[in-house]
Amino acid sequence: MTDEPRWLDSAEEQTWITLVAMLFRLPAALDAQLQRDAGLSHFEYLILASLSEAPERTLRMSVLALLSEGSLPRLSQAVGRLEKRGWVRRTPDPTDGRYTLAILTDDGFDKIVATAPGHVAEVRRLVFDPMTKAQPKQLREIGARVLRAVDPNGPRPGTHPF
Amino acid sequence: MTDEPRWLDSAEEQTWITLVAMLFRLPAALDAQLQRDAGLSHFEYLILASLSEAPERTLRMSVLALLSEGSLPRLSQAVGRLEKRGWVRRTPDPTDGRYTLAILTDDGFDKIVATAPGHVAEVRRLVFDPMTKAQPKQLREIGARVLRAVDPNGPRPGTHPF
DNA sequence: ACGTTTCACTTCACCGTTTAAGTCAATCTA
DNA sequence: TAGATTGACTTAAACGGTGAAGTGAAACGT
C-alpha cells in the first residue's frame, strides 16, 4: 500500500483512459436511447427483460436484484414505479411469506416486446457493428476475467438461474 | 425501427451480458475503493487527477468537465465540495471573465499524491493483472471503436488537450 | 410452545445528479 | 454605444440511489 506502486506505462494508460471513457459513456448512451424511445431507465429495462425471460414471468425480488445488477432497496423502488405504471405486480410468495414475487403483467410484456427491438438495434449500432468479427469473443474473455477479479465469488454472468 | 430487428445470437448475448455486468460492477468497485481509502468518489478523483496533470494545475471548468466525463452542473457541485475541503479553488479567468478557472491547491496535490498509488494498485488488480499480455491492446482497440460509435465527433480519448 | 434469531424485503433520511431556469461577462448589431 | 444575443457557468427543484433502521414471516433453540 505504502510501497512503491507499479505505475501504468503509457500503453496501459491509454487502455485505462479508453476503458474509463467507455464506462462513463456507454451506460449514458444506453440510458438515453431507452429514455427517449421508451421512457425507461436501463435499470428498469433490465427488470422487465429479466422478468420476461423467467418462467411464469415471475421472479423473487432477491433473484431479480441479482439479474438486474441492482441493490434490493433500489430494486424495491424501481419495481414500485413499474407497478404504478401497470407493468409489474407484486405478491407475497405463497410458499414462503418472506419472499416477494415480482410478476410481469400482460401490459408489461407488451411494453418489453415494443421496446426490445429498438434497444437491441442500439446495442448493435454501438457495440457489435463497430467490432471486427474476432472482437466480440475477445471482449467476452476480457470481461470474464475482470468480473472474476471484481467479485471472485460472483456468479459467472450468463449462468442463468432457472 | 419497426422492421424485424436482427436479434443477438447466443454468443453475442453472452458477450452483451458480460459487458453489461462489467459496466455496472467495475465502476462500483472503483468507487468503493476510493471512497474507503480516500473519501473520494471516482468522479472527484478524476477531477483532482485531471487538474494535477494540467499546466499550472489549472483548467477551465468546461475543459475539466470533458476530461472528467461529467456534465457542467455536476462538475460545478463537485468542485464546490472539493473547494470546501481545501483541495481546489476557483477564480474567474482574468483574460475572459466568462470562464472559470479551477486550480488545484497544494493540499489538493498532496491529496492526489497520497491517493493515486492505492487507486492504481486497484486498477491493476481488477483490470490489468487478470488480463493476458495480448488483451490490453485488444481492449483498447475495442474501446476505441465503441467510443467512436457512441460519439463520432467526440475527441479520441487520450488526445490530451494541452 | 414461546422467545430469539434470521432473512427478505420496505421505508426513511440523506445526498448526489439531472434538468431547467437564472446570472453575468463578452460580443455582436444597429 | 445601447440593446440583444451568445456562451459559461451557477443555482434551484425534482428525482433517484445509498445505507441504516423498521417490519413481518419463518426457522431455530430450549
**Least confident range of A112-116, B7-11, B21-25:** B7-11
pLDDT the model gives residue B7 = 87
In terms of Cα–Cα distance, which of B132, B82, B84 is closest to A146? B132
pLDDT the model gives residue A132 = 98
Contact status of B46 with chain A (Cβ, < 8 Å)? yes
pLDDT the model gives residue A153 = 77
Q: Which of B1, B22, B150 sits opposite A143 (nearest CB)?
A: B22
Distance, CA of B55 to C1' of D14, in Å = 38
Backbone angles phi, psi at A105, to 5 degrees: -80, 170
Q: Across residues B139-151, what is the average pLDDT?
A: 96
Percentage of residues in chain B with pLDDT exceeding 90? 88
pLDDT the model gives residue B4 = 63
pLDDT the model gives residue A157 = 63
| pLDDT band for position B152 (cuts 50, 70, 90) | confident
Contact status of A126 with chain B (Cβ, < 8 Å)? yes
Burial class (CB in 10 A: 0-12, 13-18, 19+), A125: middle
Write out chain A's pLDDT in tens, 162 residues.
555 668 899 999 999 999 999 999 999 999 999 999 999 999 999 999 999 999 999 999 999 999 999 999 999 999 999 999 999 999 999 999 999 999 999 999 999 999 999 999 999 999 999 999 999 999 999 999 999 999 887 666 656 555
pLDDT the model gives residue A155 = 66
Which chain B residue shows the shortest CA-CA distance from A8? Answer: B120
Residue B94 beta carbon within 7 A of nucleic strand C: no
Q: Across residues B79-104, what is the average pLDDT?
A: 97
Q: Which of B11, B118, B149 sits opposite A1 (nearest CB)?
A: B118
Give the domain A26-150 fold.
Answer: Arc Repressor Mutant, subunit A (1.10.10)
Q: Are A51 and A58 in contact (CB under 8 A)?
A: yes
Q: Which residues contact B81 (CB under 8 A, 6 or more apart)?
A: B44
| pLDDT band for position B157 (cuts 50, 70, 90) | low
Is the CATH number of domain B25-150 1.10.10.10?
yes
Protein CB footprint (7 Å) on chain D nucleotides: 7-12, 16-20, 24-27
pLDDT the model gives residue B160 = 58
Distance, CA of A138 to C1' of C23, in Å = 50
Q: Which of B123, B136, B146 sits opposite A130 (nearest CB)?
A: B146
Residue A157 with chain B: CB contacts under 8 Å:
17-18, 20-21
Give dist(CA B83, CA B77) in Å, integer: 10
Instruction: Residue B24: count other Cβ atoms within 10 Å of its Cβ.
Output: 20
> Does A131 contact B144 at a Cβ distance shorter than 8 Å?
no
Contact status of A130 with chain B (Cβ, < 8 Å)? yes
